[in-house]
Structure 1
Amino acid sequence: MPDKPSLTSSELGTLWLTYQQETMVLRMLEYFIKQADDKEAKTIMENLYNVVHSFSEKTAILFQEEGAAVPVGFTSQDVNTGVPKLYENGFDIMFFRLMTEIGMGMHTLNITMSSREDVVSLYKDLTAIIQKYYNECTQYLIRKGMLARPPYVSMPQSVEFVKDVKYLSGLNPFNDKRTLNTVEVAHIFHAIETNVTGMQMITGFAQSAHSTEVSKYCKRGMELSKSFITEFSAILLKDSVQAPTPAGGNVTRSTAAPFSDKLIMYCISLFCSFSLGGNSLGTAFSLRTDVAAKTTVSMKDVFEYAQEGAKIMIRNGWMEEPPQMEERKHIIDKN
């Protein structure tokens, strides 16, 4: 057996996805670092940039050592740091808090699909460092009063067990629904919070995109996020639970494009994938049927929106193709 086995198809695929995400984050960090007014925020982003840059180089080296083509990902052509501010009032740290959350989920999942020691080690180190910066972003936003906190609740004084299947009901509008439990509130609150940041992000994309096609696509995404925020907030308010209202993250009046349409579309695609995963968990852990039904419908809407975006990327030549398995039938027929 060789000292270091070849990369498996799963490892090659996850490394390819990791490199795409890393290079996108680097380009966006370059812009936000240049625009940063707050010294503390700038320091967080500069340190994060150095870490992500180091890991992107390690990922590229893994491709090179295997004799595989290094993906294109996102380059200096995908960012313009010289344009005016598109976002302000803490949006930069709000955005990278969400990006590190996405990264934590991806890298943890990638560990489970890897077996070669150096690849597993890469994802373990990435997970640990991204967790660190997620916490730094969170604590920064709390100190600045920009992070909406989930609601508090009276502590339970005894352990209860569900006594009736009515606990699962919720779809019948003529019957009273039980009060939301804290697990359901957690997932609904998280869905609203992430959609608020996503809506702010895509609003900036809509007014600065190069092409009309991408701008229209972003506008549709804005309306989709608004509908999710409205619907999930209504579920909370029905039980007198306050919906999250972040205090920062404004979009300016600038229409100058800091990012290429290719980067914009990939970023939206990444957020759609994250939304699908989050909504899947929300559906799985929500025992009230109306809540589960609502998250299921939202997943359908997000999937259809993501599919439309994929078609735009393909038509414009922006979708880099992941490494493919051998076209075995073609090889045999050719022979």
Structure 2
Amino acid sequence: MKEHQTRLTASEIATLWSSCQNNSMAICVFKYFLEHVEDEDIKSVVTYALHTSEENLQESQRILKEDKQSIPVGFSDEDVNVNAPRLYSDTYYLNYIKNMAKVGLSVYGVALATSAKTSVRDWLSKAIQTSTEMYNKTSDALLSKGLFIRPPYVITDNEIDFIDQKNYKRGLLTMNPRTINVIEITHVYANIETNLVGQILLSGLAQVAKAKEVRKYCNRGKEIATKHIEQFSNILTDDYIPVPMPSDLTVSNSTTAPFSDKLIMFHTALLIQSSTSNYSTAAAASLRTDIVTTYVRLTAEVTTYANDGINIMIGQSWLEEPPQPINKKNLSN
């Protein structure tokens, strides 16, 4: 059946426009990684990630051009110095790409559910497939090298039951606290993992950023991530749940910038968006009130941090304005 030709909807424009920015940034990051990766298996994963980002960028630009929409400036070779010394370990490359693949699965999945145009849905469906492939490739590489850090193992009671008392929501600050359940463990551990990836990333970026305010901002983000890792870890250890941690996500002592300050700030903003989304999902899935309160409190802290970053980007003219509808009020006046 031939599709009735229509213009792109607001949500489709938003998805494509954001994809152009995000993938142009990812291309810069992966080009730099590829210049320094030594392990051949990991190099294969980085190459695939670069190729996937390039394809996504080209396709999103093509669909926007077809609809006569503006293409964001995004990022280019001017924003990356591939000859800068190595900043991160090969193992970190794998964990970084694994985390980016998870973000891609989430973002593209939500976007597909809000899209109607066939070309957009086809592109998003393929993007979900490649994000899945990227996640599997990274996971397989981590497993083969004994580097995959699994969520905690637990022993369950193997009984089917229904919650019949409101005190099930009691947490550690109340009498007779309820042990954390497996759904809550899943989200808590996932947020430890993503904060760890962000902590290492910002540790390196804080060393190489050129502007003092950008270095200060990255250091502040690193401290926030470190604190959040500690608070999430305490939730698990208070119930005697082990917190597995990788030991070889290292940062070198290089102070030569591989990325522009504009790219660094944009990348940090992406991390914040991902954290905010993860915390909201986790809070909605948690039944223990103290865990929900923790997510709400940490979300407020991240939101304040994000707002300060936006102010820095606006002050430096680094923040591109998303497409917006024509102001009909101005036209009528």
Q: Which amino acid aligns with 2:162?
A: F
Q: Distance in 2 between matches of 1:79 and 1:157?
A: 53
What is the SS of the residue equivalent to 2:258?
Answer: coil
Letter in 2 for 1:25: A
- Report the Cα distance in structure 2 between the residues aligned to 1:55 and 1:234, rounded to whole angstroms: 39
Shift of residue 246 of structure 1?
Answer: 1.2
How far apart, in 2, do the equivalents of 1:89 and 1:35 lie?
Answer: 8
- 1:3: Cα distance to partner? 4.3
In the TM superposition, residue 51 of structure 1 has moved relative to its aligned partner by 2.3
| % identity of equivalent residues | 32
Equivalent position SS for 2:137: helix
Residue 86 of structure 2 contacts residue 254 of structure 2 at CA under 8 Å; is this kept in 1? yes
Q: Tell me how far 1:4 sits from its aligned partner.
A: 2.3
* 1:236-294 residue CA offsets vs partner (Å, 9 max, x unmatched): 11111111311321011001100111111111111111111111111111111111111
Aligned to 2:288: 288
| Residue 193 of structure 1: aligned partner | 193
Task: Say whether the 8 Å CA contact 1:206–1:219 is kept in structure 2.
Answer: yes
1:237 aligns with 2:233: no
Q: Which residue of 1 aligns with 2:323?
A: 323
Matches of 2:158 and 2:181, distance apart in 1 = 15
Distance in 1, Cα, partners of 2:266 & 2:236: 32
Amino acid at match of 1:253: N
The answer to whether the 8 Å contact 2:96/2:197 transfers is yes
Structure 1 residues 2, 133: closer, same or farther in 2, change over 3 A? closer
Between the aligned partners of 1:233 and 1:47, the Cα distance in structure 2 is: 33
Amino acid at match of 1:112: A
Question: What amino acid sits opposite 1:56 in the alignment?
Answer: L
Cα distance, 1:89 vs structure 2: 4.3
Q: Which region of structure 1 is more displaced relative to structure 2, 21-30 or 157-166?
A: 157-166
**What displacement does 1:169 show?**
1.4
Partner of 1:17 in structure 2? 18
Q: 1:200: Cα distance to partner?
A: 0.2
> What aligned pairs does 1:1-335 form with structure 2 within 5 A after superposition?
3-170=4-171, 173=173, 175-333=175-333
Partners of 2:326 and 2:121 lie apart in 1 by 25
Query: How far apart, in 2, do the equivalents of 1:54 and 1:134 lie?
Result: 17
Q: Which amino acid aligns with 2:96?
A: F
Shift of residue 155, structure 1, vs aligned partner: 4.5
Q: Any unmatched runs of 5+ in structure 2?
A: none
Q: CA deviation at 1:145?
A: 2.5
Quote how far apart the aligned CAs of 1:163 are.
2.9
How far did residue 140 of structure 1 move? 1.2
Retained in 2: the 8 A contact 1:146–1:247?
Answer: no
Q: Deviations over 1:76-124 (max 9, x none)?
A: 1110000100011411111111111111111111111210111011101
Q: 1:44 and 1:241 mapped to 2: Cα distance?
A: 32
Q: How many pairs does the alignment contain?
A: 332
Q: 1:287-311 deviations in whole A, cap 9, x for unaligned?
A: 1111111111111111111111011
Distance in 1, Cα, partners of 2:123 & 2:174 = 54
Q: Are the equivalent residues in 2 in contact too, given 1:74–1:263 (CA < 8 A)?
A: yes
**Secondary structure of 1:87's partner?**
coil
Supply the distance in 2 between the matched residues of 1:240 and 1:300 (Cα, whole angstroms): 28
Contact 2:87–2:204 under 8 Å retained in 1: yes
Residue 146 of structure 2 aligns to a residue whose secondary structure is: coil
Q: Which amino acid aligns with 1:135?
A: N
Work out the CA distance in 2 between the residues paired with 1:174 and 1:184: 18
Confirm or deny: 8 A CA contact 2:49 2:97 kept in the other structure. no
CA contact (8 A) 1:83 1:257 kept: yes
Alignment CA distance shift 1:164-1:23 (3 Å): same
Output the CA distance in 2 between the equivalents of 1:321 and 1:302.
Answer: 22
SS of residue in 2 equivalent to 1:250: coil
Q: Distance in 2 between matches of 1:50 and 1:105?
A: 20
Spell out, residue by residue over 1:178-209, the C-alpha distance to the aligned partner (whole angstroms, 9 max, x if none): 11111111111111111111100000010110
CA deviation profile, 1:13-50 (whole Å, cap 9, x unmatched):
11101111111111100000001011111111112212
Runs of 4+ in 1 over 4 A off after TM superposition: none
Structure 1, residues 185-235: CA drift from partner, whole Å, max 9, x if none? 111111111111110000001011010000000111011011101111111
Q: Distance in 2 between matches of 1:170 and 1:225?
A: 23
| C-alpha contact 2:42 2:90 (8 A) present in aligned 1 | no
Calculate the TM-score normalised by the size of structure 2: 0.96
CA distance in 2, matches of 1:13, 1:84: 36
**Counterparts of 2:311 and 2:78 in 1: how far apart (Å)?**
22
User: Does structure 1 retain, via aligned residues, the 8 Å contact 2:80–2:259?
Assistant: yes
Give the drift of 1:151.
1.4
CA-based RMSD of the aligned residues comes to 1.4
Q: Report SS of the residue matched to 1:296.
A: helix
